Structure 1
């Protein structure tokens, strides 16, 4: 592997059992995943910076995430979860604190209309502030979300390959790829292959690379692998990337250059 001094892990989570949980949640951890533990993993793996994604079970209470980033902005940035009706002042404050994007988790929810209502306003505000909209959706949800992504004023980052297998009966993955073919603002995150049927992520990776090349791909370890704890190691996540992207130069682009460009890490702010 190339020199790792500027590698970025774009998908990790931190939490403690003592934190208040969202009323509507699909999962609640029975262990802690602290910033200190994450730093140890990063140091061992040669990761320079991690993008901490607010987990769904903490809802829109981003205090733990923000406190962690403010305490160590060189090591951490964040993806927050917000009420789509949040005002521009709140988004500006989040950005000032080190937030680089907002996560929209559609799993188990109706697919949102990103062109109208609160979600449409949110997308425009994110575009104004150069914040990324990170979307976790799956299957048939992409049939309504994917069309028109190129019309949105913000950059879209698709979580976990789109969480839909190539050839899935919903046609969701193909709808997403079709959109990415014309929408240069759509990026993909290569992460969480264990959330798919066996080998499905490999096929998704190959199909995505055929459409986007290596220019709109980032990588995430998905540490600490919620709901799949103790089944994986941090180093194993690099082996997955080796399998999806055989060329060391292309891996360096995905691990360092692309996240720096996507999240503007080379600016004075970061």
Structure 2
């Protein structure tokens, strides 16, 4: 294993992906890339924009074959953490091996899928094993369904992370179905939100940024800054032509966060949740 560098934390990108177009793709997928997003390029983006650490999230089009992500973690130990996708019947030994490489969560990407029945035995076993690892469960789904998903998962006592503001539609404003209820989840104490993917909020760039400002203020009021974190969503799949690491950093700066909130979004929250030293 490569030598683990002693990196001072300057900023943490809590959501990014690495992959190669030559990898085996999942049979059921909404998208397949026609380009590569290698680790070396991602690390270069971090360095160029003042970030010291990052979190790699398994892209849905690779399914549950996490080998590329795990190799990346092994190549940059200490600098990266991982969030994987697994089958409900994954073995405890597999999770143990992933944990040693820096995996700290499991992602459920439910975009475009039927909502699962979390009361079945296979799901209960998976959630028990996630809990044994001390990992969190990351949810990617439109905001209208997020509150019901979180309620269904509460009996398992897991930490939960919601992707990309909860995937609301900026054109519908804060009053859209699910968003007000999403805000109430801040009172549960075990839910975090990734302030990422502003360009995925369905509106024009101006609408998306205006909504993100309002949504961030509401999220801070209900969750507290200590359960919010920022992610680049590099390499911005399906939006590659018009979005870059530099442009999402610019969007973040345009939110106009006060210094304490900025510190939480870029360092403190992810440092605690993902166990960066």
Normalised by the length of structure 1, the TM-score is: 0.90
Q: CA deviation at 1:89?
A: 1.9
1:29-80 Cα distance to aligned partner (Å, 9 max, x none): 0111111111111111111111111100000001111111111113222111
Where do 1:174-189 residues align within 5 Å? 174-181=180-187, 183-189=188-194
Alignment partner of 1:127 out of 131, 134, 149: 131
1:113–1:145 Cα contact (<8 Å) kept? no
Alignment partner of 2:72 out of 68, 79, 82: 68
1:115–1:152 Cα contact (<8 Å) kept? no
State the alpha-carbon separation in 2 of the partners of residues 91 and 194 from structure 1: 33
Where do 1:227-238 residues align within 5 Å? 227-238=238-249
Alignment RMSD (CA, Å): 1.8
1:146–1:176 Cα contact (<8 Å) kept? no
Where in structure 1 are there 5+ consecutive unaligned residues?
none
Alignment partner of 2:55 out of 51, 55, 67: 51
State the alpha-carbon separation in 1 of the partners of residues 124 and 212 from structure 2: 30
1:245-269 Cα distance to aligned partner (Å, 9 max, x none): 5212321222111111011112xxx
State the alpha-carbon separation in 2 of the partners of residues 177 and 89 from structure 1: 37
Taking structure 1 as reference, are residues 187 and 78 closer, same or farther at Cα in structure 2, changes over 3 Å only? same
Taking structure 1 as reference, are residues 116 and 176 closer, same or farther at Cα in structure 2, changes over 3 Å only? farther
Report what 1:167 is aligned to: 175
Q: CA deviation at 1:5?
A: 4.0
State the alpha-carbon separation in 2 of the partners of residues 16 and 154 from structure 1: 32
Report the count of equivalent residues. Answer: 260
State the alpha-carbon separation in 1 of the partners of residues 270 and 143 from structure 2: 26
State the alpha-carbon separation in 2 of the partners of residues 70 and 234 from structure 1: 23
Greater shift after overlay, 35-44 or 194-203?
194-203
Taking structure 1 as reference, are residues 249 and 201 closer, same or farther at Cα in structure 2, changes over 3 Å only? closer
Report what 1:250 is aligned to: 261
1:147–1:179 Cα contact (<8 Å) kept? no
Taking structure 1 as reference, are residues 250 and 139 closer, same or farther at Cα in structure 2, changes over 3 Å only? closer
2:26–2:63 Cα contact (<8 Å) kept? yes
Alignment partner of 1:34 out of 33, 38, 42: 38
State the alpha-carbon separation in 1 of the partners of residues 119 and 16 from structure 2: 29
SS in 1 for 2:31: coil
Where in structure 2 are there 5+ consecutive unaligned residues?
1-7
Does residue 196 of structure 2 align to residue 191 of structure 1?
Answer: yes
State the alpha-carbon separation in 1 of the partners of residues 148 and 114 from structure 2: 10
Does residue 119 of structure 2 align to residue 108 of structure 1?
Answer: no
Structure with more of its chain in helix, by fraction? 2
